[in-house]
Structure formats: structure tokens, C-alpha cells
Chains A and B, each alone.
Chain A
Amino acid sequence: MKPKGYEPRDRTRCEMTKGELIEVIAQRDGFNLKKAEIVVNTICDSMREALQKGERVEIRGFGSFEVREYNAYRGRNPKTGEEVYVRAKKAPFYKPGKELRERINGSRKN
């Protein structure tokens, strides 16, 4: 449920979409929107393609992504109790970098 008075562009909304990220990049760097879009899309596509090939992605200061494999298992549908077979799958796993972890916690020095 969205709160009353919800405004899509409101700074208090507490989120940034890809489109807004592109706008911010265009403003900050004097790039036009089209170029900023190419940059953001190329970054996302590169990371996705690497993960698709099973490679790790390592962005110093931001974090790393890797693909983890999960075995198949027999589980139960918690609502019906019915037995279900869950196939083996792969899923991306993200570990934030040290710099980012510290900045999120108010750059505490340990």
C-alpha cells in the first residue's frame, strides 16, 4: 500500500529507479540522456552476461557478485502439504564491498 500523498518524484520516496539513475548521471556529468542510458545499460548488461557465463563480477569499493548453485530437493507446499520437487538451480549472490558497508553504517572506524 502506498501512503497518502504519494508522489513518484518525491525525494522522501526513498528509492531510485534505473531511469532516475540515468537522469542523475546525465545531470552530474553533462552527458545527454541517451549517452547516460547507454552507459548504465552497458554496465548492467556486462554484469549480467558475466554472471550468465558463470563468472564472478568484482567492482572494487562496491562489491562482488557470484553465481551459487543449489541442489535439487523434495519439499512441501506449506499451504497444501503436497510434496513438490524443486529443481537444481543457480542464483546470483551479492556481497557488498568493505567501503560500501562502512559508508552505509556511517563510516564508523573499527
Chain B
Amino acid sequence: MGHFAGSDDMTKAEIIERVYESLGGHSKKESADIVEMVFETIKETLERGEKIKISGFGNFVVRQKKERTGRNPQTGDEIRIAPRKVLTFKPSQVLKSAINDED
């Protein structure tokens, strides 16, 4: 079930454009590389199991889920759900208020 970016969505390309404008004196390519670097650094940090805390935006936390037994909802068969890590995002109060104040 792929979700495709619609015309109203903000994508990486749009963020790169904004960074290009706010940096000034750097090429589009350099702006794209630095944005890529930011997301790559965040991904590497989360991959190591570390938390990312962005004040004014939110925290990304990797949580360890234990093995459990589930059921296939179609057949009712018992299935083993392997232990795995999940990434959760906890929005900051600033982000939550920003979303609720503007309509």
C-alpha cells in the first residue's frame, strides 16, 4: 500500500528549496546534499538505538517490542510475532499547539 505524495504535500524537494533560499550563497546541489545529510544523520542515530530530541518539534524514540503471539485475523491461526524495534514520534507541546491554533 504505497502512499504517493499529492500536490498539497510537502516533500523533500520543497524543503531543499526553502533551505536554498534561507542559506544564500550555496547552490541547489549543495542545499540538497546538506538536507540529505541531516536526514541521514538522524537515521544513523536512530539506527544505533539513540533518541533524537528536536526542541520545538518533537522526539523520535526507538522502542524494543517483545515477542508475542498474535492471530491471523482472517484464519484465526496463532502466529508468533518476532521481537522487533519500532520507532515512535512524540510531538512537542509547541508543535501540538501550532497545529491546533491555526485553522
Which A residues contact B (CB, under 8 angstroms)? Answer: 14-18, 21, 24-25, 28-29, 31, 35-36, 38-40, 42-48, 50-53, 55-65, 67, 89-94, 96, 99-101, 103-105
Q: In whole angstroms, how far apart are the Cα atoms of A79 and B5 in the complex?
A: 44
Taking the closest CB of chain A, its distance from the CB of B14, in whole angstroms, is: 7
Which B residues contact A (CB, under 8 angstroms)? Answer: 3, 5-6, 8-12, 14-15, 18-19, 22-23, 33-35, 37-39, 41-43, 45-47, 49-58, 60, 62, 84-89, 91, 95-96, 98-100, 102
Q: Which of A31, A44, A60 contacts B12 (CB 8 A)?
A: A60
Measured CB to CB, the nearest residue on chain A to B7 is A55
| A58 adjacent to B10 (CB under 8 Å) | yes
| B52 adjacent to A59 (CB under 8 Å) | no
| B51 adjacent to A15 (CB under 8 Å) | yes
Give me the 5 closest cross-chain CB pairs, A-B, nearest first. A94-B89, A50-B10, A15-B51, A56-B9, A96-B87
